[in-house]
C-alpha cells in the first residue's frame, strides 16, 4: 500500500538543523538540539533549544537556546549537540552523549520530564566516546548501540544498557561493526 505524504508547513518556527533529536513523548512531538550548517560559525554552532508540537504544524519553543550565550550554565544545562542518542524511557526524555561538532565529544547523560528542566544523570559515560550511535528504550532499559569515532571513522560493535543513565553494562556484539543504522524498539 503506497503512502501519501502531505506538507503541513513550509515555514516551521525553528531554524534549519541537522543531527537533532526527534521524539514522541506524552502524545507530543519534540525536537531537541542539532546544528545549522548555514550559520556563519559552522561547524561548531550547535543548539540546546527544545521545541514541541501537538500537530506537526504549530511548534512552541519550551526551552530557548542558551548554549554559547552568557546565560549558559554547564552545571545545570547541557551543551548544544549533534547526533547524540535520544530516547523516551521511564517517563522522561533522554539525551545520551553526542558528537564532536563542538571540538570535543560529549560524555554526559541528561533527562527531562518537561523539556524545560534537565537533570544530569552522569557527566562521564563508561564507554569510549562516540558519535552516530543509536539510543532506544526496550524492556525497561536504555540501549546505546553502534558507534563511529568521527576523527578516525573507526567503527565499534558494542551495545550498552542502563536503567538510570549512571550505571551501564557494555557487551560486544556478534554482528559486524556498523554505523548510520536505523533502529527501532517496541
Give the DSSP per-residue string, 54-123: SSSSS-EEEE---TTSTT--TTTSPPP-SS-EEEEETTEEEEEEE-STTSS-EEEEEEESSSSS-EEEES
pLDDT at 179: 46
Specify the pLDDT at position 181. 46
- Look-up of cell digits 521511564: 90
pTM comes to 0.81
Instruction: Judge whether 171 and 132 are in contact, CB under 8 Å.
Output: no
pLDDT digit string (tens) for the chain, length 186 residues: 788 999 888 888 888 888 899 999 999 999 999 987 777 766 567 899 999 999 999 999 999 999 888 889 999 999 998 889 999 999 999 999 887 677 788 889 999 999 999 999 999 887 777 777 788 888 888 888 776 555 544 444 555 555 555 555 555 554 444 444 444 454
Asked whether residue 180 is domain-assigned, the answer is: no
Q: How many other C-beta atoms are found inside a 10 Å radius of the C-beta of residue 131? A: 23
Residue 59 lies in a domain: yes
Report yes or no on 153 lying in a domain: yes
Please give the span between the terminal C-alpha atoms of the chain, in angstroms, as a whole number.
22
47 located within any domain: yes
Write the CATH number for 117.
2.120.10.80
> Does residue 185 belong to any structural domain of this protein?
no
Number of domains in the chain: 1
The SS3 call for residue 145 is strand
**What CA–CA distance (Å, rounded) separates 63 from 52?**
10
Name the residue range of residue 148's domain: 21-172
15 part of a folded domain: no
Residue whose grid cell is 533549544: 49
Note whether residue 182 is domain-resident.
no
pLDDT at residue number 79:
93
Determine, yes or no, domain membership for 7: no
C-alpha distances out from residue 152 to 124, 147, 148, 181, Å? 21, 12, 8, 18
Amino acid at each position: 500500500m503506497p503512502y501519501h505524504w502531505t506538507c503541513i508547513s513550509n515555514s516551521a518556527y525553528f531554524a534549519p538543523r541537522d543531527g537533532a533529536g526527534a521524539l514522541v513523548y506524552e502524545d507530543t512531538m519534540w525536537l531537541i538540539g542539532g546544528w545549522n550548517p548555514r550559520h556563519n560559525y559552522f561547524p561548531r554552532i550547535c543548539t540546546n533549544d527544545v521545541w514541541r508540537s501537538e500537530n506537526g504544524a504549530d511548534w512552541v519553543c519550551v526551552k530557548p537556546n542558551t548554549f554559547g550565550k552568557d546565560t549558559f550554565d554547564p552545571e545545570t544545562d547541557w551543551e548544544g549537540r549533534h547526533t547524540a542518542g535520544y530516547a523516551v524511557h521511564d517517563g522522561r526524555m533522554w539525551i545520551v552523549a553526542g558528537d564532536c561538532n563542538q571540538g570535543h565529544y560529549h560524555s554526559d547523560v541528561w533527562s527531562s520530564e518537561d523539556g524545560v528542566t534537565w537533570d544530569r544523570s552522569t557527566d562521564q559515560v563508561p564507554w569510549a566516546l562516540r558519535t552516530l550511535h543509536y539510543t532506544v528504550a526496550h524492556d525497561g532499559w536504555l540501549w546505546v548501540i553502534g558507534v563511529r569515532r568521527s576523527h578516525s571513522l573507526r567503527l565499534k560493535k558494542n551495545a550498552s544498557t542502563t536503567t538510570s543513565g549512571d550505571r551501564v553494562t557494555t557487551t560486544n556484539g556478534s554482528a559486524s561493526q556498523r554505523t548510520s543504522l536505523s533502529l527501532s524498539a517496541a
